[in-house]
Structure 1
Amino acid sequence: MTDSVFATIAAAVLLVPSAMATAAEPVTPDANERETAIEVIEVYAQKRPQPKSEVSLAVSSLDGEALAQRRIADTTQLSGLAPNLLASTVAGEGTTPSFNIRGVGMFDYNTTTISPIAIYSDDVVSGGANFLSSSLFDLEQVDVLRGPQGTLFGRNTTGGAILLMSKQPDAEFGGYASAEIAEHDTRQLTAAVNMPLTEQTSARLAVQHKDYQYSMQNLFPLGQDGGMRHNNVRLIVRTELENWVVSSKLTLEDIEGAPKPIYSAGIMAADGSGTRCPLSQVGSRNCVDSFGLSGPSDDFWQTVADTHDKKHDTEGWTGSVNVSGELAPGYQFKSVTAVKDLQRFHSFDSDGPGNFIEGSFDSDNEFFSQEFSLAIEQDGRYWISGLFYLNESLDQQNDLDLFRDFRAIPALAAVPAQFFYFNQLDNQSFSAYSQLDQPLSDAWTLTAGVRFTREQTDYVARADLDTVPVYIPKLWDLAGEVADSEWSGKLALLQKISSNYNQYYSLSRGFKAGGYNGGYSTSPQQAADSTYAPERLTAWEVGGHWLAPQQQLSFDWAAFYYDYQDQQVFVNQTSGPAPYHVLKNAGESTIYGVEAEMSWRPVAAMKLDLAVGHIPKAELGSDQSNALFVADNRLPFTSEWMASGQLEYDLSAVVNHLLVQLGFVYQSEFFFDQYENPYIRQDGYTLWHGRIAYQPTPELELAVFGKNLLNKEYTELKFDSIAALSAVTQLRGEARQLGVGVTYHF
């Protein structure tokens, strides 16, 4: 699929709005078509259920059952399912994930990072990096809000927000059990049961177990291929009184296993000429690293990595209580209280067969949040105001082990060093917000909102250094505070152009506070220079929502322009043998683009979903800070084109209750860091998926499925290790996987 193809698609869909208001009289569907009509989708983009056409922002709603059919396991696999949404595990499953919406994101491996994309699970914000990856099972829906959420959501949503909504208990007993087996030793069991306890109280218990290996084959003696085992439990108890609802939720998470082995791709010609390999040959046996090592074969999914002692372990729980009720007619009060606790250990290898760059993340997170809100709805006016408080503490005990193999060589014994990091961060955030939706006439509605945020991060950073001749305790021992206060908000107009089509115009401002980046520094000067300042984003946007049930068609589009001030950018300093990662503020950045989504049922048996995103410009503002330089290049991890689609066809006319689904996700090329180094570029690629399901009875479903059907070779990470190893550290994507599943509803 070429850029010209997607340009044609985008041009076509963006011309549709001009025809919407003057569309011809629809043809009345027959009875079968009415049963399968395009539904009016309700979203929670403004903290209440509303038809998508009545909100003045770009939002994609993903059905929970559809995500389960696609085998979308967690939030990092949502990439491409909404326009201009890119997500990845970047440094491997179990490490800090990366989310990017419209070029705004955080590509950082460090657990102190606070992403500009927030995850909300049943009204509870994710918090720091350790809480960003959430398992997706037994969900009602997922809403992806694109653009800065300066009023209603959190402290850090300059890029957008992802809202996860669990299936809630109801008054009838029932549930389901689903089992799957697939290639790469994959086994998955998901089950949920709904239990009425009293006339007012019901409970829903959902569990999921996943056990799998990665498709990488590690040929190193005693090396692990890697794989994870997940166990998740969610219990929701809901009590409905006359005017009040109390919902309590407890989730438990346990993950353990071994990280995916990396591939160390040398970039020097194997002929000893001292020249660099052409890009097309990197990753083949024609290229070696500084030590003359190359990959074991030309098989993309084979590697040699010393991972025998690498492991991952996560244990966590979350408890929340949501109380909502009517204080008086038209006055709705809500309280959301949440507590989280998580311990995570992850060790990694960045060099393949040697012991040159290795380390571990070891963190302990504690989290508390409280939100109160009051909504007033009278005479078509809706006014919501609230207070939000968050306190999160993070203890890190990380290490970075450099060139350990040199310790046994007397001439090189002065080179190796192992750093032990002991960082403590305490983050407190307080916000007050208010937003009003005011009808101005039958055709126009004004939305105006404002939020004040006060955030403070206190940090203690200490590091010990172990070398062959001496152990140096407290190579640095720092303490400090970063505090910021800021106003943000939104001003928008929603115009009802016809009974089927609404258009909006908005100006919004997002804010993300500064902080301390407790990453892998290697000197006291680097550690002291690891604070960063706030970033601010001003966004202009125009878009539209069109819904024509008679034509079985919905269409949404948006065009946006971002003015980014002091954007927080992850900088990988690549000039020395020791890695140095830091979060710094760039200058003014500019981003603009367009996007569109369509859902169409041309006949009763067929449904087509399509999403397209185009960002022609996403340019960093250049910045020089001592030895660190951020060039005015394209933003990392930002594709110019993204698209996804799925065709669903009901073949019941041929074989009763047979459903076929085929879909794709495409993203064009992007860079993994800010330097636009061609060796750190991922070329554009398309991943295809498919599923065939058969229901012999209404309760039973049998299915076969496949992911990456064409066995596309792609990478999830390319890290610049050229200065240290003459190599590019790669985490390669998953190979084709075929499997079968059975689901029983009761």
Structure 2
Amino acid sequence: MKGFRRHALSVAIPLLLLTWGGTAAAQSATPEADDADQQARTLDTVVVTAERRDEPLQTTPLAATVLSGEDLEKWGVSVVDQLQFATPSATVNNFGQGIDFNIRGIGKAEHNTQTTTGVITYRDGVATFPGYFAGEPYYDIASVEVLRGPQGTFVGQNATGGAVFVTSKDPVVGGEVEGYVAGQLGNYSDVALQGAINLPIGETLAARISVNGENRDSFWDITGPWTGSDGRLRSRSARLGLLWTPSEALSVLFKTDYNDLDMGAYPSDPVTATNDLFDITANAEMKAHDRFTRSVLKLDYRFANGIRFRSTSGYQQGQTAYAADLDGTSTGNTIFRDVVDETIWSQEFNLISPETGRINWILGAYWQKDTYTFLPGEFVIGAPPGSVFTEYRLEGTNPKKTSALFGQVGFNITDKLELELGGRYAHSDTTNNIDVSQYGTPIQSIQTAKFKNFSGKVALNYEVDANHFLYAFAATGFRPGGLNVPVGFGVPAPFDGEKVQSFELGWKAVWLDGRVHTQLNTFYNNYDNFQVTIGYPDLPVFGFELNVPETTKMHGFEAQVQAYLGKWRIDSGLGVLSSKLGQFYATDPRSVSVLPCNPLTGPVSVSCIDLKGRDQTYAPELTFNLGVQRSFTVGSGTLTPRITYSHVSEQWATLFQNEARGDLIESRNIVTAQIAWQRGDWLVTLYGTNLTDQRYVAAINSGLRFAGAPRQFGLRATKWF
């Protein structure tokens, strides 16, 4: 495997150096045919909003990929899973009722509500559900920003690995009645329809309505006496936006989304199975259905002195229902099912200075309450099901609260040199009010844990000239700890929060009169208190989540480039990562043992394993993507073929790195292509994703392997009006 990675790297680096490209493009405001000069100028307007200002990507001191709605379509990205194929250093492993989203090997590796995410997703300015409801589709999107590295100052405690900002299109005040309708037909009886319309309502008020729906047959061929769904898709989403601008100083934006995402199921089989990933057996109920809403109210007011006040309020409520064959075969008899409600209230306030003086600053305050409710009788692990003595049952609530104060100040030492200082103080607590029936033994858990942290960033930015920007920073990030569920040995200790120290150097440049934009950066991370599930140290019969006691060292470099060369467009990104675990002894929780194993001292035994020097989980050594397109004038229209290639090298799903248990997730090599024909207000696209039909494991969880999407192809037509 090491030899394969070296070979892949030897191919990727020359390709990157030849193309020197990246994925950072703004979406065209009108559906006109591509024009290289116009697009090169548009590239200069690409902005990132994560730091509460609209700032040019090329002069912002962070590593980021910015994708417009048009870019998402070209890369074949319609859900979060596929972002890993359009941006470097990202991996997304989807196992149905949650995802392991990691950037630079940092994010989430354990699958429970107590272990929060390390890569948080914002939708229209509001932090979304940190675990469930990850399958929300991308439609009518203005931009997606993927930020790499800890974002401790502005995003807070759930961004140790990075953050994703998804912004849907706003209504246009003073505009016209305009919009689009898009339809899609594909294999697996895929039928999709989406559209949006902008509605002016007077001189100061406008609305935008957008909808999205898709039906698709199952990818799987399932045999056995299973019940429920076979994995066919029924997705329905809608969004209403209202923008009111009574004056130049005040704007009020309200958006509300509704999603009914019936994924049918996430069929799976044992990680050690040798059959085709889509030919499986099962003898249990299967289900995967999410329903949720989100409402966002954003007020923005500019005072006479140029200072802006912003308020962002969010309310989100959803219910996720899931059922699976936990042994992954028709010969076993182990099931899992749950129904969980989640409600999030959030509020953020910002004061933002103008950028006209030598000093600029941002102050902010944040509050959030997130409550999980495990409904009575719905959370069940049955081995086999049907008896209180053979089932593990859980019900109750897990409320969490977070509050924070943050700020950043920038000082222009000279016209070219700027010093930035930022910091965030956060306090959070989590409580278990749950009742457990553990194979006939009743256990009650009423427990609270509190966590606090100060994260900061010091950056030095140097604008060499109009085309070259250098930055260097040191930053920290924090993810809170959580509570272990009791398993009969009394109240277990909580696990602590994670901390990341990150050091980064970056160079962003513009070449050939704006036709080529590049980003190049290198980073070094000290990763402390990595949260991991192992066997109980004193009696490793049950699993127990704790922190790796020694520091994990991680370093790497990334490069991105986007080029418009005549009628050619080339996008490329590269991420190289190396990680090494500190001293750590542990018992694999899948191996029942009675031998003690101290995380610091061991001793090494048949079950107590020395994990020092092993790779971090979900930390592939190489990620690479390349997209090439060429426009041709055909009659009165434009024909644009495009092909993309994305590679994510192999990665480990656990620190124990046991290939026999299926811990190794093999590499992914995804080829996507499309041929788009545009004439006036019409765009017709013939598309194909995963053209080589690679059978790859998209995630490993609970001893099961989950398949990535197979080859899909079809025809898409869009009409603007």
TM-score range, shorter chain: 0.7 to 0.9
2:492 matched to 1:529?
yes
Per-residue Cα deviation, 1:406-434 (whole angstroms, up to 9, x for no partner)? x8xxxxx99x7201111411111110011
- The amino acid that maps onto 1:560 is F
3-state DSSP class of the match of 1:156?
coil
Query: C-alpha displacement at 1:234, in angstroms?
Result: 0.8
The Cα of 1:62 is off from its aligned counterpart by 0.9
Please give the TM-score of this superposition, normalised by the length of structure 2. 0.88
Corresponding position of 2:26: none
Inter-partner Cα distance in structure 1 for 2:719 and 2:433: 52
Q: What is the aligned residue count?
A: 674
1:698 to 667, 677, 680: 680
The correspondence for 2:189, drawn from 172, 175, 185, is 185
Contact 2:120 2:128 in 1 (8 A): yes
CA distance in 2, matches of 1:575, 1:349: 32
Conserved 8 A contact 2:19-2:570: no
Q: Residues 509-543 of structure 1, C-alpha deviation per residue, up to 9 Å, x if partnerless?
A: 1111122255xx7x223x83362111111111001
Would you say 1:84 and 2:89 are equivalent positions? Answer: yes
* C-alpha contact 1:110 1:517 (8 A) present in aligned 2: no
Does residue 667 in structure 1 map to residue 672 in structure 2? no
Of 119, 122, 129, 2:121 maps to 119
Aligned to 1:279: none
> Offset of 1:587 from its aligned partner?
2.8
| Counterpart position of 1:20 | none
| Partner-residue secondary structure (3-state), 1:53 | helix
8 Å CA contact 2:266–2:288 kept in 1: the answer is no
Shift of 1:460: 1.6
What residue in structure 1 maps to residue 523 of structure 2? 560
Q: Aligned-pair RMSD on alpha carbons?
A: 2.8
- The superposition leaves residues 654-684 of structure 1 with CA deviations (integer Å, 9 ceiling, x where unpaired) of 8831111110110111111121111321222
> Hey, what does 1:430 align to over in structure 2?
403
Q: Who is 1:368 aligned against?
A: 345
Using the TM superposition, name which of 712-721 and 661-670 deviates more. Answer: 712-721
TM-score relative to the length of structure 1: 0.85
Residue 709 of structure 1 aligns to which amino acid in structure 2? L
Give the corresponding residue for 2:370: 392
The 1:96–1:574 alpha-carbon spacing in structure 2 relative to 1, beyond 3 Å, is farther
Q: Which amino acid aligns with 1:62?
A: L
Deviations 1:332-363 (A, max 9, x none): 10001111111111111122113433111221
Shift in CA distance, 10/443, structure 1 to aligned 2, threshold 3 Å:
farther
Counterpart position of 1:168: 170
- The alpha-carbon deviation at position 221 of structure 1 amounts to 4.5
Aligned to 2:657: 676
Name the aligned partner's letter for residue 745 of structure 1: W
Distance (Å, rounded) in 1 between the aligned partners of 2:424 and 2:583: 27
1:534 and 1:132 map into 2 onto residues whose CA distance is 23
Q: Spell out the pairing of 1:253-264 with structure 2 (5 A cutoff).
A: 253-264=259-270
For 2:132 and 2:702, locate their aligned partners in 1 and report how far apart those are by CA, in whole Å: 24
Query: Relative to structure 2, which stretch is displaced further, 593-602 or 146-155?
Result: 146-155
- The 5 Å alignment of 1:2-401 reads 3-7=6-10, 9-10=12-13, 33-37=36-40, 39-40=43-44, 41-89=46-94, 91-92=95-96, 95-170=97-172, 171-221=175-225, 224-242=229-247, 243-264=249-270, 266=272, 283-284=274-275, 299-307=276-284, 309-351=285-327, 352-377=329-354, 378-397=356-375, 399-401=379-381
8 Å contact from structure 1 (residues 592, 618) kept in 2: no
Shift of 1:557: 1.1
Aligned-partner residue type, residue 717 of structure 2? V
Note the C-alpha offset of 1:582.
3.8
Structure 2 stretches of 5 or more lacking a match? 21-33, 588-595, 600-608
Q: 1:505 is matched by which residue type in structure 2? A: A
Residue identity matched to 1:645: L
Q: Contact conserved, 2:283 with 2:333, CA < 8 A, in 1?
A: no
Which of 682, 694, 705 is the equivalent residue of 1:730? Answer: 705
Q: Distance in 2 between matches of 1:130 and 1:376?
A: 36
Output the CA distance in 1 between the equivalents of 2:126 and 2:615.
Answer: 33
Q: Secondary structure at the match of 1:311?
A: strand
Q: Does 1:593 align with 2:556?
A: yes
Which residue, out of 563, 581, 594, partners 1:619?
581
Asked whether the 8 Å contact 1:566–1:586 carries over to 2, the reply is yes
Q: Deviations over 1:595-617 (max 9, x none)?
A: 000111222x1100000000022
- Aligned equivalents of 2:351 and 2:688: distance in 1? 47
In the alignment, the residues of structure 1 paired with residue 332 and residue 540 of structure 2 have an alpha-carbon distance, to the nearest angstrom, of: 14
C-alpha change, 1:169 and 1:187, in structure 2 (3 Å) is same
Please name the residue that 1:271 is paired with. Answer: none
SS where residue 77 of structure 1 aligns? Answer: helix
Q: Distance in 2 between matches of 1:8 and 1:734?
A: 26
The residue number in structure 2 matching 1:648 is 629
Structure 1: unaligned runs, 5 residues or longer? 18-30, 267-281, 285-298, 408-412, 722-728
Partners of 2:479 and 2:688 in 1: how far apart? 40
The one-letter amino acid of 2:83's match is L
Structure 2 SS opposite 1:635: coil
Question: 1:718 and 1:609, CA in 2 relative to 1: closer, same or farther beyond 3 A?
Answer: same
Q: Which residue of 2 aligns with 1:480?
A: 447
CA contact (8 A) 2:77 2:83 kept: yes
Pairing of 1:407-486 with structure 2 (within 5 A): 417-466=390-439, 471-472=440-441, 475-486=442-453
Task: Give the aligned partner of residue 27 of structure 1.
Answer: none
Per-residue deviation, 1:10: 3.6
Q: Distance in 2 between matches of 1:140 and 1:192?
A: 12
2:190–2:215 Cα contact (<8 Å) kept = yes
Deviation at 1:14, TM superposition (A): 7.9
Distance 1:123-1:666 versus aligned 2 partners, 3 A rule: same
Residue 14 of structure 1 contacts residue 596 of structure 1 at CA under 8 Å; is this kept in 2? no
Q: Measure, in 2, the Cα distance between the counterparts of 1:568 and 1:577.
A: 17
**Alignment identity in percent?**
21
